[in-house]
Amino acid sequence: MEKRKLLNIKGTLISIEKPMIMGILNVTPDSFYAKSRFQNENECLMEVEKMLSEGADIIDVGGMSTRPFAEEISSEDEISRLQPVIKAIRKQFPEAIISVDTWRSEVVKCLASEGIDMVNDISGGQFDENMFQEVASNRLIYILMHTNTQPKSMQENPQYENLMNELFIYFSKQLNFARLAGVNDIIIDPGFGFGKTMAHNIELMQHLDEFNFFGIPVMVGISRKSMIYKTLNKTPEEALNGSTVLHTLALLKGVDILRVHDVAFAKEVVDLMEVFGNLS
């Protein structure tokens, strides 16, 4: 199946013939990479300006950490963190593509009126039965990720009889549910590090190109993750070079969107791969 290379942002078609970069903005006190955390509106706006100037195509704003073993916060707290930041970004950067990183439909409902364009749902619609309907009713782009369970328990001995088969069954099922609900623009994310051991992450990277089968854009979020820094015996702060290596590998396997902490470096990867890597 030929892969779709367009995203419909509320009626405007955006080409992703060239891979896109999603910059991470965490309005949280506990996300795993400290330098991605921002605690007030001014800090957030300065970081968004920086990311956009460095080449970010999308800004992904999260109000609740989804790192392994992270504790859940209430939807009210999540909204209170996100709403003023989303509103400020939309006002100051009206042309920016804004994604919200949440698995709660009530958060989406609240923030749709503030101008979000996209929902990045780690649960792929598993944790909230109203998510697909809310996304569809607001004509938002939807990122459908795979995880096995909630972040606080997802790394407690995750097991699969056949990882790739189970992920293909999962995506086929969830894509069908989303489309039946009226969600038209969907991106899939295999969910590196979400309910997966190091061996699972390695297998996933080796077979990453197989997700092109679905004919829709594929995103990966591997920036500075433990699969990189533990392999290199480093810390998240020391994992930039390793992230660059795996971003390059992901692009070679047909990935369309890189979700990253370090926009300028990811942009260099995309630009160089476009010239030397035969991405077309």
The structure's pTM equals 0.93
Q: Mean pLDDT across the chain, nearest whole number? A: 92
Q: Is the pLDDT of residue 13 over 60?
A: yes
Active site residue 225: yes
For residue 116, give both structure tokens: 């979000």
DSSP 152: T
Task: Return the higher-pLDDT residue of 128 and 149.
Answer: 128
Average pLDDT over residues 151-158: 63
Q: Is the pLDDT of residue 30 over 70?
A: no
Q: Give the DSSP per-residue string, 80-141.
A: HHHHHHHHHHHHH-TT-EEEEE-S-HHHHHHHHTTT--EEEETTTTSS-TTHHHHHHHTT-E
Active site residue 259: yes
- 145 touches 121 (CB < 8 A): yes
Q: Residue 117's pLDDT is what?
A: 98
What is the residue extent of each domain of the chain? 18-273
pLDDT tens figures, 181-221? 999 999 999 999 999 999 999 999 999 999 999 999 999 99
Among 179, 225, 230, 267, the one annotated catalytic: 225
Among 67, 81, 196, 259, the one annotated catalytic: 259
Average pLDDT over residues 43-70: 90
Q: Residue 5's pLDDT is what?
A: 87
Q: How far apart are the first and last CA of the chain?
A: 16
From CA 146, how far away is CA 169, in angstroms rounded?
11
Q: What share of the chain is helix, strand, coil (3-state, %, to 5)?
A: 40, 15, 40
Q: Is the pLDDT of residue 247 over 80?
A: yes
Beta bridge partners of 144: 121, 188
Q: Residue 73's pLDDT is what?
A: 86
Q: Is the pLDDT of residue 34 over 60?
A: no
Q: Give the DSSP per-residue string, 251-278.
A: HHTT--EEEES-HHHHHHHHHHHHHHS-
Which amino acid, residue 36?
Answer: S
Which amino acid, residue 208?
Answer: L
Q: Is the pLDDT of residue 153 over 90?
A: no
Q: How confident is the model at residue 245 (pLDDT cuts 50, 70, 90)?
A: very high
% of the chain beyond a pLDDT of 70: 91
Q: Is the pLDDT of residue 103 over 80?
A: yes
Q: Residue 280's pLDDT is what?
A: 55
Q: Residue 277's pLDDT is what?
A: 81
**CATH number corresponding to 18-273:** 3.20.20.20
From CA 57, how far away is CA 53, in angstroms rounded?
10
How many other CB atoms are there within 10 angstroms of residue 15's CB atom? Answer: 9
Q: Residue 4's pLDDT is what?
A: 85
Q: How confident is the model at residue 228 (pLDDT cuts 50, 70, 90)?
A: very high
Which region among 6-10, 218-222, 224-228 has the lowest average model confidence (pLDDT)?
6-10
- 276 touches 51 (CB < 8 A): no
